[in-house]
Chains A and B, each alone.
Chain A
Amino acid sequence: MDIHDFLHGAGLVFIFLGIGTIIVAGIGLFRLPDLYLRASAVGTSAGLGVASIVIGVLMMDFSWLNLAKAVVAMIAQLLTSAVGSMAIARSGYLNNSLPAEITHTDDLLKTRRDQHADSPDQSTT
């Protein structure tokens, strides 16, 4: 039963790690200044949090079938959080949500038709 107890403890550690990651992601939603920082930091941190909880549960209740399920769940979770973040950020950019002031370089601004034509000085912000 020794290995069983060990796996149980390790599973708990992973679950609380996942909960902590999700809480930090939630705090980040309030603290980060613009859409892109939130999407890049929070979107995927939340994905990692869920993945970590899945690993923890797998350790506490291990079987080969559960391992297969957990792998599928983690791949789907990480893939959808990545694609979702990209879709949100891209549509935000296309809808004129400009990056926060502290963004020091913006190469994508050069490809915008409206910004390029009349106000090139905005690219220096």
Chain B
Amino acid sequence: MSPTSALASWPWRMISFLFWYAKAFVLANLFVTLDVLRPRKRMKMAPAIIAVPAASTSDTEWTLISCLITLTPGTLTLSISREHQILYVHGMFVASRESLVREIQEMEDRMLKALRRNPGDLSRPLRVPDVVPVDQPPGGELE
């Protein structure tokens, strides 16, 4: 994408992200509400905590994507690992690992395209790295 055309499509990307997020937000609210009101035996809940590879780089992007995920009812950011580029997301309706990862990554793609003047490279590590606990934890989560 050339610089000028990227600049021209930037406002459009922002607006389309806002509308897309509003739609996703309302739909998620509807699903969660229906499931809460459903009799206990027929609840469709399948919660899981999934490590989602992320493409965010700057502080702003990490903060925004974790806030947006939490703001959507039914999904919740539990923790992030910037070192491994992983978001730990708790989902309420997780059919499979792939479905939640796809959902979160679509949101992130759209957010990054709306946030960056030139979206650039949105590729993520293909394999989820195995995070091995260390004896000496880093000083803060963000280091």
Residues of B within 8 A of A79 (CB): 67
A111–chain B nearest beta-carbon distance, Å: 5
B49 touches A106 (CB 8 A): yes
Residues of B within 8 A of A37 (CB): 45, 47, 92
A36 touches B47 (CB 8 A): yes
Known: A82-B67, A112-B133. A106 touches B73 (CB 8 A): no
Name which residue of chain A comes closest to B25, CB basis: A48
Mostly helix, strand, loop or mixed at chain B's interface? Answer: mixed
B48 touches A24 (CB 8 A): no
Known: A47-B71, A99-B47, A111-B131. A90 touches B79 (CB 8 A): yes
Name which residue of chain B comes closest to A106, CB basis: B49
Interface residue count on the B side (C-beta < 8 Å): 40
A108 touches B79 (CB 8 A): yes
Bound form: Cα–Cα A70–B135 in Å: 48
A-B contacts counted at CB < 8 A amount to 118
Among B73, B135, B137, max chain A CB count under 10 A is at B73
A105 touches B50 (CB 8 A): yes
A86 touches B76 (CB 8 A): yes
Residues of A within 8 A of B88 (CB): 107-108
B121–chain A nearest beta-carbon distance, Å: 25
B130 touches A41 (CB 8 A): no
Interface residues of A (CB under 8 A from B): 21, 24, 27-28, 31-32, 34, 36-37, 39-41, 43-45, 47-48, 78-79, 81-83, 85-86, 89-90, 93, 99-100, 102-113, 116-117
The 10 closest A-B pairs by CB, nearest first: A40-B76, A105-B48, A107-B51, A28-B36, A113-B133, A82-B70, A82-B71, A103-B47, A106-B49, A82-B67
